[in-house]
């Protein structure tokens, strides 16, 4: 076990240093989600400005019977990046005959807390956590013959965090770890007015700024780095040409930071690109997934801000 932990820490450090030595600098968004990052993101989802979570919850609530019918009885429900599993409760309430609920998350401490709570709330449902980085190949529990079909639940428009070619590599990987008859219930954020998009990532309380900067706090803790978070500003804007929100940490001055003994130089105004969040039209998303999945069903809110889509494997 110790070696595994060291190996995963080493691979994270390799990715971090590789990203910080690139030009422009970047850090993988998956490293937002240590325990503090997961808690901050949970708070962000309740902000007035942050429409995606609220809108997706509404779509789930309003269409839950139809969605539960599509998932069907006896399914193995696999949630990627499950976090607090708050949206999943809608499905767990309506699907008491699930063969299993399999939350997959990179943050082990946080996932164990959530799973303990869910096991008390849903004692009849078998809950099997998988601690993994779901962006690379991972193993599902072996339950041969004990479920009707696998359904991947990927809410929250996380698919938008991947650049389109990476999203397609991810879909290819997902198709390889799931059964031929599997389906996917996925949240997809839709293209809309620029002001609505930018407000969602620049909240008045500054929680998104804290969330963005928390990655630097994590690097300080885990890799003996010496980032002064007050010397970096949160910046988020909609890049219309690329159809994505970009999040950056911008250096307020010329400075040198040490990470695991490596020196990283920053110019004043130089940024670390920490996240993309691509927004799609319905046609663009159908095109994105078309090599692996067919879009069977789409549910949206009345403003067409967000969509929940059910896909089946081709």
Q: Is residue 57 part of a domain?
A: no
**How many domains would you assign to the chain?**
2
> Is 53 domain-assigned?
no
Residues 155 and 255 in one domain: no
Looking at the structure, tell me whether residues 203 and 267 fall in a common domain. yes
Task: Kindly state whether residue 296 falls inside one of the protein's structural domains.
Answer: yes
- 144 and 158 housed in the same domain: yes
Q: What is the pLDDT of residues 234-249, one digit of tens each?
A: 999 999 999 999 999 9
Domain boundaries, position 204: 2-48+195-278
| Residues 233 and 253 reside in one and the same domain | yes
- The structure tokens listed for 222 are 């885990």
Instruction: Indicate whether 241 belongs to any domain.
Output: yes
pLDDT for 104: 93
Are 133 and 187 members of one domain? Answer: yes
* Domain contains 238: yes
Give every residue of the chain whose pLDDT is below 50, as ranges. Answer: 1-5
Same domain for 299 and 162? yes
Please tell me whether residues 159 and 216 are part of one structural domain: no
Q: What is the pLDDT of residue 96?
A: 86
Are 36 and 86 in a shared domain?
no
Same-domain status, 201 and 180: no
pLDDT at res. 38: 85
- C-alpha span between 100 and 149 (Å, rounded): 11
Contact status, residue 124 vs residue 96, Cβ threshold 8 Å: yes
pLDDT of residue 214: 98
């Amino acid at each position: 076990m110790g070696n595994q932990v060291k190996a995963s820490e080493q691979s994270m450090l390799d990715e971090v240093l590789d990203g910080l030595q690139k030009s422009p600098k970047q850090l993988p968004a998956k490293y937002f989600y240590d325990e503090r990052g997961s808690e901050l993101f949970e708070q962000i989802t309740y902000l007035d400005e942050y429409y995606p979570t609220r809108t997706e919850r509404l779509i789930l609530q309003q269409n839950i019977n139809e969605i539960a019918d599509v998932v069907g009885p006896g399914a193995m429900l696999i949630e990627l990046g499950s976090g607090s599993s708050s949206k999943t409760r809608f499905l767990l309430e309506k699907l008491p005959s699930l063969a299993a609920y399999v939350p997959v998350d990179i943050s082990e401490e946080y996932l164990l807390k959530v799973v303990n709570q869910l096991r008390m709330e849903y004692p009849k449902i078998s809950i099997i956590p998988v601690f993994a980085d779901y962006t690379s190949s991972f193993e599902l529990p072996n339950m041969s013959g004990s479920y009707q079909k696998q359904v991947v639940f990927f809410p929250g428009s996380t698919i938008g965090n991947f650049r389109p070619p990476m999203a397609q590599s991810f879909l290819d990987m997902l198709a390889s770890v799931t059964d031929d008859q599997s389906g996917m219930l996925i949240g997809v954020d839709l293209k809309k007015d620029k002001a609505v998009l930018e407000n969602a990532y620049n909240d008045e309380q500054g929680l998104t700024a804290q969330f963005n900067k928390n990655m630097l706090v994590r690097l300080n803790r885990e890799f003996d780095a010496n980032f002064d978070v007050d010397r970096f500003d949160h910046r988020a804007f909609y890049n219309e040409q690329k159809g994505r929100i970009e999040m950056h940490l911008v250096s307020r001055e010329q400075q040198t930071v040490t990470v695991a003994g490596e020196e990283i130089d920053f110019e004043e105004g130089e940024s670390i690109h920490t996240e993309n969040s691509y927004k799609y039209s319905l046609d663009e998303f159908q095109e994105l997934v078309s090599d692996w999945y067919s879009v069977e069903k789409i549910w949206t809110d009345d403003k067409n801000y967000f969509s929940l889509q059910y896909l089946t494997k081709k």
